């Protein structure tokens, strides 16, 4: 049976399309990455309006160094790199070697200036973040978009990586509803549910952060670290 959209869904779809067409335009490179994700059954990049919003945060907060946890095919890293100043850097960490290779294929198509801002790291995020800490590397923003059972671990490491006055941004913090529903949505584990609830509780701590969550489809948490 054909699904009949509610007025709200219709309205939401139309307003999103309108906003995307006017403000969050993908070039062919970004379109190609999104398509390759779709073909490979990984339709899980951030949305263009999220990319544009984070570009705005990068510019208004004068962010120079970003650490990204979860490169996937490089879609978000490209949005971010394009908003960084020419001497900006984004360290992007990916566990799956296949994903890193695909991302590199797209990064190589960027202009030299943008490409030079991106530092790819292939490995386990926890140990790679610890390596960055041991090299005394700090950042102005961390973007967490990786395994949904490890966000609290990444947040603890962020404490040592993100400067005061910096940002913590995290995707999927509504966990398909798993953080507020009293049952487990499909494909969400109890471990991920407990983890994300703790992550959000910690991030809502007013003494440490000025924070909120955007009601995007999957939830996008944004915190300013005091």
Based on the shown chain and the rule CB under 5 A, indicate whether residue 171 belongs to the binding site for Mg ion.
yes
Indicate the residue among 94 and 145 with the shorter CB distance to Mg ion. 145
Nearest residue to the partner Mg ion, using Cβ:
171
Where does this chain bind ligand DHB (CB under 6 A)? 44, 145, 171-172, 218
| Euclidean distance between CA atoms 28 and 144, whole angstroms | 25
Least distance CB 98 / Mg ion (angstroms): 18
Q: How far is the CB of 146 from ligand DHB (least distance, A)?
A: 7
Distance of alpha carbon 135 from its chain centroid, rounded?
23
| Rg (the chain; Cα; Å) | 17
Bridge partners, residue 211, by sequence:
223
Q: Which of 150, 158, 172, 195 binds Mg ion (CB under 5 A)?
A: 172
Distance CA 188, CA 36 (A): 24
**Closer residue to Mg ion (CB): 72 or 139:** 72
Please give the Cα distance from 47 to 20 (Å, whole number): 9
Q: Select from 125-133, 150-158, 165-173, 192-200 the region that touches Mg ion (CB under 5 A).
A: 165-173
Q: Which is nearer to ligand DHB, 106 or 143 (CB)?
A: 143
Sign of CA pseudo-dihedral 156, 158, 161, 165: negative
Give min distance, CB of 134 to Mg ion, in A.
Answer: 28
Starting at the edge strand found earlier in the chain, the sheet holding 65-69 runs 118-122, 89-94, 65-69, 139-144, 162-171, 220-225, 209-214
Contact region with Mg ion (CB under 5 A), list: 98-106, 143-151, 183-191, 192-200: 143-151
Residue 200 dihedral angles phi and psi, to the nearest 5°: -65, -40
SS3 144: strand
**Owner of token pair 């309205």:** 11
Say whether residue 140 binds Mg ion (CB under 5 A): no
- Neighbouring CB atoms inside 10 A of 99's CB total 19
Residue number with the smallest Cβ distance to ligand DHB: 44
CB of 173 to Mg ion, least distance (A): 9
Comparison of 44 and 184: residue with beta carbon closer to ligand DHB: 44
- Which residues 144-163 are close enough to bind Mg ion by CB under 5 A? 145
* Closer residue to ligand DHB in complex, CB, 72/88: 72
Minimum CB separation of residue 171 from ligand DHB in Å reads: 5
79 CB-contact burial (10 Å; exposed 0-12 / middle 13-18 / buried 19+): buried
Closest approach of ligand DHB to the CB of residue 75, in Å = 11
């Amino acid at each position: 049976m054909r699904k009949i959209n509610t007025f709200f869904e219709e309205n939401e779809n139309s307003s999103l399309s309108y906003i995307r067409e006017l403000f969050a335009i993908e070039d062919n490179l970004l379109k190609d990455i999104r398509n390759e994700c779709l073909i490979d059954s990984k339709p899980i990049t951030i949305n263009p309006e999220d990319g544009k919003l984070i570009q705005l945060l990068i510019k208004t907060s004068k962010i120079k160094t970003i650490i990204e946890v979860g490169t996937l095919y490089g879609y978000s890293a490209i949005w971010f790199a394009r908003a960084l100043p020419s001497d900006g850097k984004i360290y992007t960490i990916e566990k799956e070697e296949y994903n890193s290779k695909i991302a590199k294929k797209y990064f190589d198509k960027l202009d030299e200036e943008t490409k030079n801002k991106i530092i790819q790291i292939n490995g386990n995020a926890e140990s790679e973040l610890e390596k960055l800490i041991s090299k005394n590397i700090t950042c102005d923003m961390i973007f967490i978009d990786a395994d949904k059972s490890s966000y609290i671990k990444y947040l603890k490491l962020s404490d040592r990586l993100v400067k005061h006055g910096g940002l913590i941004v995290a995707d999927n913090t509504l966990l398909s509803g798993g953080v507020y529903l009293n049952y487990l949505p499909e494909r969400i584990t109890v471990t991920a549910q407990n983890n994300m609830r703790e992550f959000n509780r910690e991030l809502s701590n007013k003494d440490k952060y000025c924070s909120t969550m955007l009601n995007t489809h999957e939830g996008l948490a944004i915190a300013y670290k005091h």
